[in-house]
Amino acid sequence: MTPKRKQKLFVILGLVSLTAIAVGLTLYALRANINLFFSPVQIAQGNAPMERTIRAGGMVKEGTVARDSETLNVEFVVTDYVDDLDVYFSGILPDLFREGQGVVVVGQLQADGRFRADEVLARHDENYMPPEVAEALKEAGYEPADYQAKAAEIGKRLDAQGVPEASDY
């Protein structure tokens, strides 16, 4: 092998090595920022990591919203009508948050099985089910349309009862 070819080979190997290192470091940095989605069924089965930021979603279970009158602490249950997930949140809830509505919570699953939410996202339509929840239900063998009908029924019943929304507090 001539010295010129040897030099080109070392330059190419060096560039390939630097590229591999750059890609590896980028993937390592992104790994910590990925928020994976889990449904209450998947969390109950133990598929969700503990004390790592994840997203969980479902419907706010009727009769489970408990607000602390002294602070902004709120506890509620998110359900996919198969399993339930206890959530606690400290902060101001979205105006569209209420029982029977679809929510996605971002936070960490604690060792005691409760979910500490850092962020709560809500939708206004009682027929809405987050796409991730619908997909997770399909994978678990359940049909999301059945749960959407149940959520619509709960929403109508709550409207008829005059249950206050989060914005009414």
> What are the DSSP calls for 93-136, one per residue?
PPTT--TTSEEEEEEEE-TTS-EEEEEEEE-S-TT---HHHHHH
The pLDDT tens digits for 9-27 are 999 999 999 999 999 998 8
pLDDT of 42 over the 70 cut: yes
pLDDT of 168 over the 60 cut: no
Model pLDDT, residue 22: 94
Helix (H, G, I), strand (E, B) or coil at 45: coil
> 52-56, 76-80, 121-125, 147-151: which range is least confident on average?
147-151
Cα 134–Cα 136–Cα 142 angle in degrees, nearest 5: 75
Of 74, 70, 77, the closest CA to residue 91 belongs to 74
What would the mean pLDDT of 61-82 be, rounded to a whole number?
89
pLDDT of 167 over the 50 cut: no
The pLDDT tens digits for 93-133 are 888 888 878 889 999 999 888 999 999 988 655 555 667 66
